[in-house]
Structure 1
Amino acid sequence: MRRIIMLLGIALFTTMAGCASINPFQKHVYSTPPGKTDSAVARSYDPKIKPYTVLGRTYYPLKNAAGYDEVGMASWYGEDFHGKKTANGQHYNMYGVSAAHKTLPLGTRVRVTNLANKRSVVLVVNDRGPFVRGRILDLSYGAAKELGTVEQGVARVRITALSSMPAKTRTVARTALKYYSVRVGAFALRDNAERTYKQLLASGYHNANITTIVSKGVRLHVVQAGSFISRDKAEQVQQRLKPEFPTCYIIS
């Protein structure tokens, strides 16, 4: 009986083991899902949305991420997976900005916002996970650093899809939503970006955000006044901002 109890305890401990290494929260069981679906079924799906099975549960990714918006807890994963293949076949770079999600199509571009400090980063979903109860996203170390969540390990975030890699289907594809943003400035120093971001908030632009990009080898912190489905709305915002930010412009 003691042997059975010990085996059950070991099995439970293995199941509970979880994601990033230097924080007190559980690690992932897997980064890239090991489960395989029936080969005949798998061939009928685009690789970006192919169903997969982890720990006895089968996940069916969304066919399209248009309009996707979700709030929940995000963790991060680091050196344990650095250099290993992600679900889309790329090698995981913990210092880059990417994320794992259970059901968004691989290749989906999303904005992730830390709801505690309002920092945000735009990244691409290239992996599957997290397979820990109560978490909706697993950030790369680089993305977590940009959002200021490395030390706490888990943070409440908002995920907004900006573009989706639509699945190949036999039906007519729907037109993807197009977003317009008013870019106010790009700064090498994070403090300058934060100062401009706070100016926008004080002026009533509560959807303002900071995203980090690398252009010609230079890391820049880009401040935007928000994203809009309507170009007319973006132009109205641009005109209101021009007296204070004369070089602001619209991107899509």
Structure 2
Amino acid sequence: MRYCLKIFSCLWLVVFLSACSSSGINHSDRYSMRHDSAPLRVPTELEMQDAIVTEVSKSASAGRAYTVNGKNYTPMLDETGYSEEGIASWYGRKFHGYHTSNGEVYDMFAMTAAHKTLPLPSFVKVTNTSNGKSVIVRVNDRGPFHDDRLIDLSYAAAYKLGYYHHGTAKVKLEAITMPDSTARLSYIQVAAGSTLKNIEALAYTLRQQYQLPTNIVEKDAIYRLRLGPIKNAEQAQQVLEKLKQDQFKNAFLLYSQ
């Protein structure tokens, strides 16, 4: 009996130590590299082709509000009409092969990107404002979590835009969606002004407050800020009334058709 107990105790000890060892591996630092770096080769011409825009199902889990480093983020419900300028960075070998925020596997040679609030997945056209080069990427990850950065591109996308050596670049983002010829979309013109910086700041505030995309239209050196598109006419009217109750008494509705 003692012999059996001794064997059982030894077997239990082996299993326990194995479990501890496995647990240690699974719960160690997620990434094998401490610092990010570029791959050992350049992207091929095929890898630098634009992402193909398709109908996609949005990730419900990636659409929930979340907190990173004490800062709260609320993803957009709809990216239609979204346009914004800011700083782009890129990420490479450290994250290659690991899962993105919507469950896909990150490939530094694929045309993908990370954004803090765009729906996952979604598609955006990214233009390097310094050289005019552009690329269409599939947004399938969250980040970059730096206040001064707007989007993180894959290495291949950054290579195509010509800023992989510099690390960052000033870019313009424009959401790309599948055409919907039957929908009559509503917009709300909220404000207009001659100072782009002020209009962009207001656009950011309204996106956070109303969870709707914004776009800025320039004509004759005047920048017009529009909230939308809004697919539901009743919602558009409710948002308009709310804006009028605040400080935007001159806000008015516009329609796409």
What is the TM-score normalised by the length of structure 2? 0.47
Tell me the TM-score normalised to structure 1 length: 0.48
Pair member with larger Rg = 2
